[in-house]
Structure 1
Amino acid sequence: MYYQKHLTFTNYIDHLGELPKCNNNLLIDCETDEEQWLIGCINETFSICDKIIKVYRVNHKQMYGLYLLRKAELQLKHLIKERILYHVTSESNAITSLNDGLNWRKTKRAKFGAGVSFSDDANYANFHASNQIPGNRVILVCSVLIGNVYRLKPLKNKKAVHNIKYPPDGFDTTISSSQRVTMSIT
């Protein structure tokens, strides 16, 4: 099966190929083995997450096309890194975000600079998601393209915040000093 853990996420994405041609729904049901693979990804870092109600695949043709174009661009520059990362938000924010294509320009919180925030740890992403989230939370399991990374330096005062609005010129990704938060503007 293509969902086994020994395969890289890049191989998994390459296997997906094209999105369904006849289905125009934003969310489509996953195959059983794909659903189990995704739940396994979440449970690796969020083992206490035992209330997964439903798993969907996002069917956003424009976002996927832009993803493939950006991936090809980064491959030409030999800068590409592709990682499985998690983003946690409310159900209503998730639908809005997915309809807009995870547009980093619409982000309101920017502790580590502008961008959509992701973490390599689903539990960490859940813990740091806004406490204002009403109702059910949604864990987005995303393949994130990382090009040129700007690493933030540790702050001496734990209550201080980084004074960064955007990554410096030439960078498309900011990573926190803890390496737990990735801000992507690609």
Structure 2
Amino acid sequence: MDYHLGSCSSTSSKGRTSTSRFPSAGSASSRTRPEISVVKNLSMEPLVERLVEANSKETKRVRKMIFKTFPMVQIRKVDRIENGFLKAMYLLKKDEYLSRYETVEEKELFHVTGVNNVKSITNNNFDWRRVSRGLFGKGTSFSDDAEYANCHANHNIGSCTKVLVSKQIGGRKNLKIP
């Protein structure tokens, strides 16, 4: 689910004030919520972009997931991006992890990227080689906290997407390949 982020100045439910480098729609002390839209990768059909209706079960679930960690954000709409090839590759990778590691956990996590990367991600998937900075070394970074992902962004496009987790290692800034 890719979401377009607006102003990110807010006071979190955890009591910390955070301000991203997004153009501000108001001051950090204002009670207005920044706006976002959410986009999701789901279907086996070729790449098709379409709007998911605001009253749908999926939209409510996505809104709840975002508000859990980013209560001061305003969600304008939810969009879905479908790419059948990427879904098939995801399912193959899931089967591979199950056979190789005997366990795999599927999580829905947030990722924020630059506007110029969106088309490449929706057509070709995430590419760790394109990451220019990384707090935990080379690789694509994901978080279960929408506010954390948003406030570590330098652009205004993000996603909430399914991620497979089967083997974890500790990251460090100079890590090249896990």
TM normalised by structure 2 equals 0.66
Coordinate RMSD, CA, aligned: 2.1
Q: How does 1:48-87 map to 2 (within 5 A)?
A: 48-50=72-74, 52-76=75-99, 77-87=101-111
Equivalent in the alignment of 2:151: 127
State which of 148, 173, 178 in structure 2 corresponds to 1:162.
173
Q: How many residues align?
A: 134
Q: Judging changes above 3 Å, is the alpha-carbon distance between structure 1 residues 92 and 26 closer, same or farther for their aligned structure 2 residues?
A: farther
Name structure 1 gaps, 5 residues minimum.
1-17, 153-160, 168-186
Equivalent in the alignment of 1:99: 123
Equivalent in the alignment of 2:52: 30
How far did 1:45 drift? 0.8
What is the rounded CA distance, in whole Å, between the counterparts of 2:146 and 2:77 in structure 1? 16
Identity %: 32
Q: How does 1:142-161 map to 2 (within 5 A)?
A: 142-152=161-171
User: Do the aligned partners of 1:86 and 1:139 also contact (CA within 8 Å) in 2?
Assistant: yes
Q: Judging changes above 3 Å, is the alpha-carbon distance between structure 1 residues 115 and 26 closer, same or farther for their aligned structure 2 residues?
A: farther
User: Do the aligned partners of 2:44 and 2:85 also contact (CA within 8 Å) in 1?
Assistant: no
Equivalent in the alignment of 2:17: none
How far did 1:25 drift? 4.0
TM normalised by structure 1 equals 0.64
Higher strand share: 2
Identify which of structures 1 and 2 has the higher relative contact order when contacts are C-alpha pairs closer than 8 Å and 6+ apart.
2
Letter in 2 for 1:165: K
